[in-house]
Structure 1
Amino acid sequence: MSLLHVPLPYLLLAVYLLSIAGFLLASYLLASHIFHSPSAWWGATLFAACCSTMPAAGTSLLLMDPYLTARSISTPLSLFAILGCLDRSWKRAALFSLLTLAVHPLMGIYLIGYLLIFALLDRQQTRAAIGVCAAGFALCVLIKFIDLRVPVSSVYREAVLSRDYYFLSRWHWYEIIGLIAPLILMALASRMRTPSRLARITCAACVLIGSTSFLASLCLVHANHPDLLMRLQVLKSFQMIYALGVILLGGFVFSYVWSRSRGMAVLLLLFAGAAMFVGDLQSYPASAHIEWPAGSPGNPSEQAFLWIRSNTPPGAVFATDPAIFHQPGGASLGFRAISQRSILTDTKDEGLASLFPDIAPEWSQRANAELDLNQESDQERVQRLQDYGVNWILLPAGSRTSFPCPYRNAAIAVCKLML
């Protein structure tokens, strides 16, 4: 960054590390408010650290993303807002809520809903809290009723169906359990006398907002008519529920086990950390588990993208068959972000088209121009791409082409399109 005189990769790393520190600090402070023993405070914090990359059911969200995103910042801010609510420091809760809204508006909206429900339960206004949830569900019904009259184009439906997590009907059975099980556990905890009052209220608020989101998605969000309610992704509220659930579970379990067997408590933490580490390795099989800014990437797709950044003109326009991004390790990489070059469609474009219907037709045209490009002849590639200003093409390393390919590795060939 020219203003700070810090290279962008190092700045991103610094912000990401700061977001992790914020998440852990917020976890510790929340645990210290909810539990009485220091063992529970540290157990909750360490358990949150071990499970920080846990997926929130089938929502496609993690507690903390393994790289810097808007949620990397909004998640700790949300926890600090909840902490302010626990302290009844409403100005602090409002400040962190506004910061969350500025960073991630959608997550900020669900945070404010949770804080409102928590505040009502804290004042023993249970009926009012249930009424807020009922009003939220009624608002979802109204949005659905209004949008039923809006036609849905075939190209928009195609973009929407590329994302299974929008619709509960397309979830796996274990992902559904991932929604229901936390609500059942929190409902039981909210009725027990052993946890502190703050723990019971925290659980009860999670149950109310989670149940409302679940019912709204189950009853109103369907693949046969994707609409605004689908784009609001009401199930994203479970990311906050999971974050609070991990802190609560870590505090409950660790304090109970620590008082009986410290060795068993340590083993539980080691098991949780090892399980998440194995899961991370399976999710990113072609990438280093930790990537430093000055290091050389081991991922062949990333190697090719970095070569493009250094060896092609800034105005270069690329095209590739989308299948190339679904090679091992390729789906998690963003071509534009790494190469700093243009491409007809990137891995995120269909997701953007599913959220913004107006760009779906253009996305569909570009995607169709690239479809099965790996299998075409050079002449057919030129015919399909010449109207889009493409002058470079990415092909699998073993593809046949007479185009000059100044870079080639085990996965990708970077070739100059000869018009």
Structure 2
Amino acid sequence: MKNYPRDVPILILLAFCALMVHGYHPGVEDAEIYLPGIKKALNPALYPHNSAFFASHAHMTLFPSLIAGSIRISNLPVDWALFLWQWFSIFLLLLGCWHLGRLTFRDALARWGSVALIAALLTIPVAGTALYIMDEYLSTRSLSTPAVLFILINAVERKFARALLWIIFTVLIHPLMAVFGVAYVVLFLWMNRRQPETLSSSRLEATSALLLFPLGLFPPITDAYREVLTTRPYFFLREWRWYEWLGIFAPLALLGLIRWLARSQDLPVLEAMCSASVVSGLVFFCVSLTITIPQRLANFAELQPMRGLHLIYILLFVFLGGLVAQWVLRDHIWRWAVLFLPLSSGMWYAQRQLFPATPHVEWPGAKPKNDWVQAFLWIRQNTPREAYFALDPDYMALAGEDQHGFRAIAERSRLADVVKDSGAVTMFPALAETWRQQVRAQRRWKDFQLSDFPGLQQKFGVDWVVLQRPGVMGLPCPYQNNAVLVCRLE
């Protein structure tokens, strides 16, 4: 720990390099759920219509208030604050990996191998869970991921008061990911208990009852909710492809091999953590089989137990990076370059394929080059805050749109969509019927004619639409670019 102050600036620099490799897109994918919550916390007048599709998440976490509060205190523009928080989140993750490397390896180089491999693989998919190790935008997972690592680090060091504080923080930010982290820690401590009698059968029964209690809170599945679940095939193991199944068991096999190596090299913490990782992975797999294969248990699918692989993947790469650095790379700079330059280049290329119509890093304050983002910004600047929009319910999946969120960027209300709002509904089934009504009303969107829009206006109060070119004849469209038209319903 004597070099710790010197290592922090290096970690900050590595975090920035990782951000440059993996890209930064503040308004894409799940940012459509999280960013509106932050903006509404800053300005409650925003999103007067249909806000439940993001507010349901926002009300369950401290995240929007935390980010909004930091913006108020710092007086930074929102875009810059989000960028700095993303950078800080990556730094925290790498710091956690550095500490894990310190705990599991004796060689100082090993901890840097752990950090470097995680930094190079931030956006690697976690099997079929639809998760990355770290997203290209700020979300609750950006903070909960490093927080879970610090829970584990302090638990391994038997600093339980600190671990409890990190647990509280994680629960306030992302309750579900906190469950996975705490479950791993409990399993680790139980497998490495010093006094077996401390976990009596009565305590285990009480714990089981506590864990089972929330299951009674899940409402019965409805037809509308079942329709929503069809948009989330990754909830169900039976829908996973063969390589996603490989993503379950190959990491566990590697962890088993690392455990054997750790035992042979007398690395007891590494051995113990590998053991706990394998067992926890199998436990989450069995739980997932139990609640996602039988149709009658589909209402429990929102628990997404396979997301427990997220922590296991991080630990796997921390351990692999440490071993490779200690035994292969050592202090030969050229070896580090031979490994990490191609690896980082490959990850950079993969991200460019995901967002081909958007700059790799969407710098704060920079003029957008994506046609859809340009249209969304025009809407933010030129339409009233109470404007209510309709657009293709699959707009985030359209070529050239690059998964940018309308609410997140335009700061206006819209009807429910298929791509992101369906995810909110899986967590909050009470929204299912509203979601189905709105999505079905837009189902024929690509074939809409002038006579179809008054129906949306009368039923939902929509007064603006966003259309792809060539648009619909007869609508007044005060804004248009090469791909998009913004039109007013009169």
Q: 1:55 aligns with which of 125, 143, 151?
A: 125
1:84 match: 154
Deviations 1:226-246 (A, max 9, x none): 544211111111111111111
Q: Is the 8 A contact 2:456 2:462 kept in 1?
A: no
Q: 1:188 aligns with which of 228, 249, 257?
A: 257
Q: 1:300 aligns with which of 355, 371, 374?
A: 371
2:403 match: 332
Amino acid at match of 2:307: K
Cα pair distance change 1:93/1:397, threshold 3 Å: same
Residue 485 of structure 2 aligns to a residue in which SS?
A: strand
Deviates more, 1:335-344 or 1:381-390: 381-390
Q: 2:431 aligns with which of 342, 359, 365?
A: 359
1:95 match: 165
CA distance in 2, matches of 1:329, 1:80: 39
TM-score of the superposition, structure 1-length normalised? 0.92
Q: Is the 8 A contact 2:97 2:318 kept in 1?
A: yes
Alignment pair present for 1:406 and 2:475: no
CA distance in 1, matches of 2:157, 2:215: 40
Residue 120 of structure 1 aligns to a residue in which SS?
A: helix
Cα pair distance change 1:125/1:304, threshold 3 Å: farther
Residue 278 of structure 2 aligns to a residue in which SS?
A: helix
Amino acid at match of 1:388: F
C-alpha displacement of 1:324: 2.8
Q: 2:450 aligns with which of 350, 366, 378?
A: 378
Deviations 1:173-193 (A, max 9, x none): 101110111111112322342
C-alpha displacement of 1:199: 0.4
Cα pair distance change 1:301/1:214, threshold 3 Å: same
Residue 394 of structure 1 aligns to a residue in which SS?
A: strand
1:158 match: 227
C-alpha displacement of 1:387: 1.6
C-alpha displacement of 1:137: 12
Cα pair distance change 1:368/1:184, threshold 3 Å: same
CA distance in 2, matches of 1:146, 1:12: 38
- Over the aligned positions, Cα root-mean-square deviation in angstroms equals 2.7
1:317 match: 388
C-alpha displacement of 1:383: 2.2
Alignment pair present for 1:203 and 2:279: no
Q: 1:11 aligns with which of 81, 84, 91?
A: 81
1:178 match: 247
Residue 414 of structure 1 aligns to a residue in which SS?
A: strand
Amino acid at match of 2:225: Y
Deviations 1:266-306 (A, max 9, x none): 21112221221122112222221111111111211111101
C-alpha displacement of 1:317: 0.4
C-alpha displacement of 1:139: 7.2
Deviates more, 1:81-90 or 1:206-215: 81-90
Percent identity over paired residues: 33
CA distance in 1, matches of 2:376, 2:331: 53
Unaligned runs of 5+ in 1: none
CA distance in 2, matches of 1:58, 1:400: 39
Q: Is the 8 A contact 2:93 2:145 kept in 1?
A: yes
C-alpha displacement of 1:125: 7.1
Cα pair distance change 1:284/1:126, threshold 3 Å: farther
Amino acid at match of 1:173: W
Q: Is the 8 A contact 1:374 1:399 kept in 2?
A: no
Deviations 1:148-175 (A, max 9, x none): 9x64222111101101110011111101
1:280 match: 351
Deviates more, 1:139-148 or 1:198-207: 139-148
Residue 256 of structure 1 aligns to a residue in which SS?
A: helix
Unaligned runs of 5+ in 2: 1-70
Q: Is the 8 A contact 2:467 2:486 kept in 1?
A: yes
Q: Is the 8 A contact 2:354 2:402 kept in 1?
A: no
2:137 match: 67
TM-score of the superposition, structure 2-length normalised? 0.79
C-alpha displacement of 1:136: 12
CA distance in 2, matches of 1:401, 1:140: 60
| Superposition pairs of residues 341-352 of structure 1, within 5 angstroms | 341-346=412-417, 347-352=419-424
C-alpha displacement of 1:262: 5.1
CA distance in 1, matches of 2:302, 2:126: 18
Deviates more, 1:261-270 or 1:337-346: 261-270
Alignment pair present for 1:369 and 2:438: no
Instruction: Give aligned pairs, total.
Output: 415
Q: Is the 8 A contact 2:357 2:370 kept in 1?
A: yes
C-alpha displacement of 1:121: 2.4
CA distance in 1, matches of 2:330, 2:106: 13
